[in-house]
Amino acid sequence: LIPGGSTRAALILLGIFGAALLYGDGMITPAITVLGAVEGLNVVTPLFEPYIVPVAVVILIGVFAIQQHGTHRIGRLFGPIMIAWFAAIALLGVRWIAQEPAVLGAIDPRHAVWFFRDNGLHGFAVLGAVFLVVTGGEPLYADMGHFGRRPIRVAWFALVLPALLLNYFGQGALLLLDPDTSHPFFELAPAWALLPMVVLATAAAIIASQALISGAFSLTRQAIQLGYAPRLDVEHTSSWEMGQIYVPQVNWFLAVSTILIVIGFRSSGALAAAYGIAVTMTMIITATLLHIVATERWHWPPALALSVTGIFLAIDFAFFGANVLKIVQGGWLPIFIGGLLFTLMTTWKTGRRLVAERLAARAFPLTEFMGMVAATPPLRVPGSAVFLTAQPRGTTPPALFHNLRYNKVLHEHVVVLTVTTAPLPHVAADADRLVVEDLGDGVCTVRVQYGFMEDPHVPEALALAKARGAEIDLDDVTYFLGRETIIVTRHHGMAVWREKLFVLMARNAVRATAYFRLPPERVVELGVQVEM
């Protein structure tokens, strides 16, 4: 899909940085949306001013606490609220459009040309504030993996987009009638409806936050499968939709980070700069990768792909340039978060590659191992032994070699199992998922692959392998894992600080037993030291 050489590496790194920025968006979006909604209490009465931040923190704690109950339950709870929210903001907009229909003239693009002609650089800087009007759709699309494309499209074009346009036109009409309006959104509502609108806005902010949080869960699982993150707990919250998951470590990391951001910035206005630059950078990266997909996968003519993505990039870079002016005011935050997570992800990927290279350098060829077994048959014991390995094809798993060398025995049936991740969301056919190769003397290799949106399940894979002819006693299986002890050195590899970071991440990774769904009472771990 991606061109080769240095271009491929650069695009992969660009995609990783975009993913890291999404985590930052998952922290900043809950903070700015909840703060913005709660700040509506100031419109009701200034007496609420001291309580804005504490109320926002309490709401955010509740948002992250309910994530463990699953997206489908949250959807049933908040779906009707969102319909009421968009209907309400649309009606408020129509109410003011009726009072000042001239606002509909904003559809004429000449107004934008005249604005930039008359205001010059100041008009360009204003784009940084205007940009917040075109953001906010990403929470909806963050749930694409949970609900599929069609429900998202229908919701956007039938409800969300019309309601937003009507509301923004309504705010414009209000400003034309009263240019001194300080809170145009909340002041669209009549006095009697102001407090209910604050409550409704807070509920909508919670739901938008939840969408990005659940999107971060999906991204984390894909990063684990693709080797850019250590193994974490991935809990399925729905028996109908495999994409609905909950990752406790990510949830509470986002929770703590979001609450600290709220306490540090204290207002949605102060957070606006941080929010804008995160989204613009993500949009630029997305448009760039879209061009690659269009030419390499969809086979568009390069000129057509460039003309389409060029339009997006021209707009995105304009917004990005305007938001860069606000880096000192808070735009540094998403860049810092993205850089930190980018470092963690690339460190883990590089570290795993170095560990694999160190193990492969001293690996014992599987053909020689089989020759040794044939030449000097060891004592065979009843049952089946499954040796999980990430080593290249044709090498003996260290755990298998050490078991024979030190325990002097071999099980009656031996399976060398390799689990890999395909560059696809799902592996549809069982024929593509699993390959069995009989090596003789009761030994076979099984290679099983999963899509990056699927969870490995080794016992199920062994049942499929048995159906394909592998000699496995499923009622008497012992799983052997190699447990790596990583030693930091100054050998050629990564910088020492990155090696120490990799060791820290490895120590906190979820055990392979839980990740591969192995029965704990049947797992044996054999240690091996690896020098980085």
In tens, the pLDDT along 227-285 reads: 899 988 888 766 555 557 788 999 999 999 999 999 998 888 788 777 778 788 888 99
3-state SS string over 426-452? CCCCHHHHEEEEEEECCEEEEEEEEEC
Q: Average pLDDT in the 109-132 region? A: 84
Residue whose structure tokens are 């755990």: 399
Distance CA 433, CA 419 (A): 10
pLDDT at 240: 55
Which pTM was predicted? 0.80
Rg (the chain; Cα; Å): 28
Tens digit of each residue's pLDDT (9 = 90 or more) over 150-161: 877 888 888 888
Report residue 293 as tokens. 């997909």
Asked if the model's pLDDT at residue 345 lies above 90, the reply is yes
Give the torsion sign (CA, 60, 61, 66, 71).
positive
Q: Do you know the residue count of the chain?
A: 532
332: CB partners within 8 A, 6+ apart:
274
Lowest mean pLDDT among 47-51, 92-96, 289-293, 464-468: 47-51
Tens digit of each residue's pLDDT (9 = 90 or more) over 286-325: 899 899 989 988 999 999 999 999 999 998 898 888 888 8
Look over the chain and give the mean of its residue pLDDT values, rounded to a whole number. Answer: 85
User: How many contiguous H segments (helices) and E segments (strands) does the chain have?
Assistant: 20, 10
Tell me the percentage of the chain whose pLDDT exceeds 90.
Answer: 27
Q: Report whether 512 contacts 518 (CB < 8 A).
A: yes
Measure the CA dihedral 142/148/151/157, to 10°.
Answer: 60
How far apart, in Å, are the Cα atoms of 459 and each of 147, 236, 260, 411? 29, 18, 42, 18
Q: Report whether 494 contacts 502 (CB < 8 A).
A: yes
Tens digit of each residue's pLDDT (9 = 90 or more) over 386-414: 999 887 778 888 888 888 888 888 999 99
229: CB partners within 8 A, 6+ apart:
220, 223, 344, 345, 348
- Amino acid identity of residue 414, one-letter, is V
